[in-house]
Amino acid sequence: MGFSVGIVGLPNVGKSTLFKALTKKTVDISNYPFCTIDPNVGVVKVPDERLEKLAGFSRSKKIIPTAIEFVDIAGLVKNAHRGEGLGNKFLSNIREVDMIIQIARGFESAKITHVDNKVDPLSDIETINLELILTDLNMVNNALEKNSRGVKANDKLAIKSEEMLLKYKKALENEQPASSVKIDESEKEKGPDFLGESIIKQLLTNKPMFYVINVGENQKELVLKQLESELGKNKILFIPIKTEAELSELSDEEAEILRNDLISSSQKQQIATLDDLIKNCYRLLNLITFLTTGEDETRAWTIKKNSTAPQSGRAIHSDFEEKFIRANIINWQDLINSGSWQGAAEKGLLRIEGKSYIVKDGDVIEFRI
Ligand SMILES: Nc1nc2c(ncn2[C@@H]2O[C@H](COP(=O)(O)OP(=O)(O)OP(=O)(O)O)[C@@H](O)[C@H]2O)c(=O)[nH]1
Ligand SMILES: [Mg+2]
């Protein structure tokens, strides 16, 4: 199961610099059959401190982290929704990803031109958000038109579709994202032919998104605070992308030492790292990790929150879902604290779980089929 994150923003804001820095944390792609091979797609490992510890416990020969794909999407310009600057192509690249990180420029530089000739991250964000909203509005309007014949013929599903699409049209016309529309679950499931739902799934502004402000080295704290209150604290990360790109050439330990030198302690509170960014994507996608461990390898697997044990098994192999009988499950920390599998079993910490068990983050699992 692969998840992908699109890097979106105006031209020249640091998207490719961020992409290159992220792909320094790249993984051996042969372990991830779901991955796309494309120069604009990078497969990036999800940092997880538990893996080393668990591998030490099991004396594993290999550690295989879980991964997310990042897609470097070319810069959008004003009127991209009308096809300006190859807009249609780039917007359709966004349609394919599971979530969006939107980059806005916070750094000053006389050498690097800004498309609007001013450094104003909020205005960058407004421009991009409006393009995404207008793209969605086009899509909803086209769907309404296509649907109108069914409505005229009094088709029940078409009438339902229209009701639903009109809610989205109204929000988008008010420059609100599709994600702001609240839809009752009972209104939703109308079968695969229900046009309304299939369109809504494709809307760009329905995807999870957060903002990354590419800050300069000496960014004023006050400016950051103001952005935070405008956009919402949990929707924004401040990252000095160029500095992080340079640090990504170093080992994690060296990078941490230099980062401490470069960024003052008062700023450090507000400044995020690439690892923070990756973890934030994971969180917004509602993903959790379960682990497998043995002498050959210790490995992390990505699943959606609230997956059952058989559904989780599918991350490894479809047989683990289809032929699932039971699973032996223990929290990773409990396993290490117990000193051995045997010790964990004696303490009653190693449990046998059936088909309806909901897997938790940090579960170590042995599937039985
Ligand atoms: N001074 C400074 N320059 C930066 C920073 N981040 C990126 N740059 C520079 O800005 C220029 C554009 O960066 P890119 O990463 O290529 O920008 P982009 O968003 O991918 O641009 P497009 O692909 O054209 O949309 C490059 O010359 C970078 O070195 C930064 O934090 N500070
Ligand atoms: Mg670029």
Answer CATH for 306-368 from 3.40.50.12780, 3.10.20.30, 3.30.70.2170, 3.90.110.10: 3.10.20.30
| Closest ligand 1 atom, residue 106 Cα | 31
Angle at 334 between CA 328 and CA 337, to 5 degrees: 130
Asked if residues 332 and 359 have their Cβ atoms less than 8 Å apart, the reply is no
Please give the average per-residue pLDDT across 103-128, as a whole number: 85
Ligand 1 lined by 241 (C-beta under 6 Å)? yes
Rounded CA separation 246/260 (Å): 14
Report whether pLDDT(190) > 70.
Answer: no
Residue with CA closest to ligand 1 atom 1 = 109
**pTM confidence score:** 0.88
Ligand 1 lined by 11 (C-beta under 6 Å)? yes
Count the helix, strand and coil residues of the chain and give each as a percent rounded to the nearest 5: 50, 20, 35
Name the 3-class secondary structure at 189: coil
Ligand index nearest the alpha carbon of residue 124: 1
| Closest ligand 1 atom, residue 14 Cα | 15
Report whether pLDDT(289) > 80.
Answer: yes
CA of 76 to the centre of ligand 2 (A): 10
Per-residue model confidence (pLDDT) at position 255: 85
| CATH superfamily placement of domain 4-49+64-115+208-284 | P-loop containing nucleotide triphosphate hydrolases (3.40.50.300)
Residue 257 CB contacts under 8 Å (≥ 6 apart), including other chains: none
Ligand 1 lined by 109 (C-beta under 6 Å)? yes
Report whether pLDDT(191) > 60.
Answer: no
CATH of domain 132-206: 1.10.150
Rounded CA separation 10/22 (Å): 19
Report whether pLDDT(36) > 70.
Answer: no
| Closest ligand 1 atom, residue 10 Cα | 25
Residue-wise pLDDT for 339-348, tens only, equals 999 999 999 9
Residue 205 tokens read as 């502004």
Ligand 1 lined by 341 (C-beta under 6 Å)? no
Ligand 1 lined by 25 (C-beta under 6 Å)? no
Residue-wise pLDDT for 228-281, tens only, equals 888 888 899 999 999 899 988 888 888 888 888 877 766 777 889 999 999 999
The full set of domain ranges for the chain reads: 4-49+64-115+208-284, 132-206, 306-368
Per-residue model confidence (pLDDT) at position 225: 82
> Higher confidence at residue 118 or residue 227?
227
Using the Cα atoms of residue 314, residue 318, residue 319 and residue 321 in order, give the sign of their dihedral. Answer: positive
Residue with CA closest to ligand 1 atom 15 = 14
Ligand index nearest the alpha carbon of residue 17: 1
CA of 15 to the centre of ligand 1 (A): 7
Q: How many CA atoms lie within 13 A of 348 on its CB side?
A: 0
Residue 304 CB contacts under 8 Å (≥ 6 apart), including other chains: 286, 287, 288
CA of 51 to the centre of ligand 1 (A): 34
Ligand 1 lined by 57 (C-beta under 6 Å)? no
Residue-wise pLDDT for 121-170, tens only, equals 999 999 999 999 999 999 999 999 998 998 899 988 888 889 889 999 99
Rounded CA separation 303/287 (Å): 6
Q: What size, in residues, is the chain? A: 369
Ligand 1 lined by 214 (C-beta under 6 Å)? yes
Range among 112-116, 131-135, 181-185 with highest mean pLDDT value: 131-135
Residue with CA closest to ligand 1 atom 14 = 14
DSSP letters spanning 342-354: HHHHHTT-SEEE-
Residue with CA closest to ligand 1 atom 5 = 242
